[in-house]
Homo-oligomer: A and B are copies of this chain.
Amino acid sequence: MSSASILTQHGIKPSLTRMMIYDCLKESNSHPNVEEIYRHLVNQIPTLSKTTVYNTLHLFTEKQIARVVMLKDQENRYDLAGHPHAHFQCLVCHQVYDAELPEESHVPRGFQSFKIVDRSVLFTGTCERCLNP
C-alpha cells in the first residue's frame, strides 16, 4: 500500500514532508533518531526544519503508525508500528538488533481491567561479535 494511503487511513494529511519521513522510517531498519532522519532528508528538502521532524514523529506516534523504540539511550529512536518486535541492545558496542517478539499476548496478573495497547521488550547483554572478537 502507498505511503499516502496509509497516512490518510490514519487521519494524517499526506504532505510531501510527512510521506518522506514515513518512507524514511519504512526503508530504514536501524531505528533512526531525529538527527538521523533530519540528515537523511535535508538533502532532498533543503528547507526542512528539525522541529518539523519532531512534530511529524509526534503526530505519527499519536496516530499509532510509529512508535518510540524503548532503549537505554538518551535520545528517542523510532519504528513503524505494524510489526511489533523485540530488540536486543549490546552493552558493549551499543548496536541494536531486531528480535522476535514471543507470541504469548499474556496479560499480566492483576491487569485484566487495564487496556493494554502495546508491549515493548528489550534484551540487553553482549552481542556475538563482541563476545568473539
Q: Does A88 contact B (CB under 8 A)?
A: yes
> Number of copies of this chain in the oligomer?
2
Q: Does A49 contact B (CB under 8 A)?
A: no
Q: Does A3 contact B (CB under 8 A)?
A: no
Q: Does A128 contact B (CB under 8 A)?
A: yes
Give the number of residues in A that approach B within 8 Å (Cβ atoms).
Answer: 34
Spot the interface stretch: A14-22, A29-37, A50-58, A114-122: A114-122
Which B residues lie within 8 Å of A43 (CB)?
none
Q: Which residue of B lies closest to A99 (CB)?
A: B108
Residues of chain A whose beta carbon lies under 8 Å from any beta carbon of chain B: 68, 70-72, 86, 88, 91, 97, 99-100, 102, 104, 106, 108-111, 113-128, 131
